[in-house]
Chain A
Amino acid sequence: EDQVTQSPEALRLQEGESSSLNCSYTVSGLRGLFWYRQDPGKGPEFLFTLYSAGEEKEKERLKATLTKKESFLHITAPKPEDSATYLCAVLILGYGNKLVFGAGTILRVKS
């Protein structure tokens, strides 16, 4: 069964305290891995897509990396406005395009 696990479930950081979120996956065939940011009561906001092991992408204070079994979202010098739930999803190989999501990591950044 295709499975995506995110850790930690929740993370509290002080402003400027860098850290990483983890997304590990067990899937039948990976076509891509997505990271989204979700604010309370809103839809997920697209951040990155990674397609192959070794690939890295950056956007402002965020950097996503991908290995054969997991992905990391590195947050450098976070600010309070980075507080949100970060969702990881894998695109499964097969007919159609189905995303399988993890449960997310709730990030709180305090000033």
Chain B
Amino acid sequence: DAGVTQSPTHLIKTRGQQVTLRCSPKSGHDTVSWYQQALGQGPQFIFQYYEEEERQRGNFPDRFSGHQFPNYSSELNVNALLLGDSALYLCASSLNAPYEAFFGQGTRLTVV
């Protein structure tokens, strides 16, 4: 079992650009959540996808959007990048119930 896989592992973008991050969930998992982790802080919830729909959203602007595909994989898109978007972006997969979230290794996004 490959676990949760994310791509790419590192990314450097220029302010104002757009970025797409990808996540493949752990085998058998149908729910995908995205988190942003700034240096020295705990992860912050961005949104969650289940059955290809956004089920819950955290306090992030509309520049952050996502998608879940029929095979349960997911994408996180961020438009009009700001310097403050630099962070480790984490994908977590789980079953809908019981809920135990397993995280990928993350994508380190640097905005310059």
Contact = CB atoms under 8 A, between A and B. Distances in A.
A56 to B, nearest CB: 17
Contact of A43 (B48, B56, B90): B90
B103 A97 contact: no
Contacts of B55: 95-96
Contacts of B103: 36, 43-46
B102 A46 contact: yes
Contact of B56 (A4, A41, A95, A104): A95
A42 interface: yes
A44 B99 contact: no
B105 interface: yes
Nearest to A94: B56
Given A87-B42, A89-B42, A103-B42, A96 B48 contact: yes
A41 B105 CA distance: 8
Q: Is the interface of B mostly helix, strand, loop or mixed?
A: strand
Nearest to B6: A43
Contacts of A42: 105-106
B43 A101 contact: yes
A36 B4 CA distance: 15
Contacts of B56: 94-98
Contact of B101 (A41, A46, A100, A103): A46
A34 B100 CA distance: 8
A96 B50 contact: yes
B28 to A, nearest CB: 15
Given A32-B99, A95-B55, A98-B56, A43 B42 contact: no
18 contacts: A31-B99, A36-B103, A41-B108, A43-B104, A44-B103, A46-B100, A89-B43, A95-B55, A95-B56, A96-B50, A97-B31, A97-B94, A97-B96, A98-B45, A99-B43, A103-B40, A103-B42, A104-B41
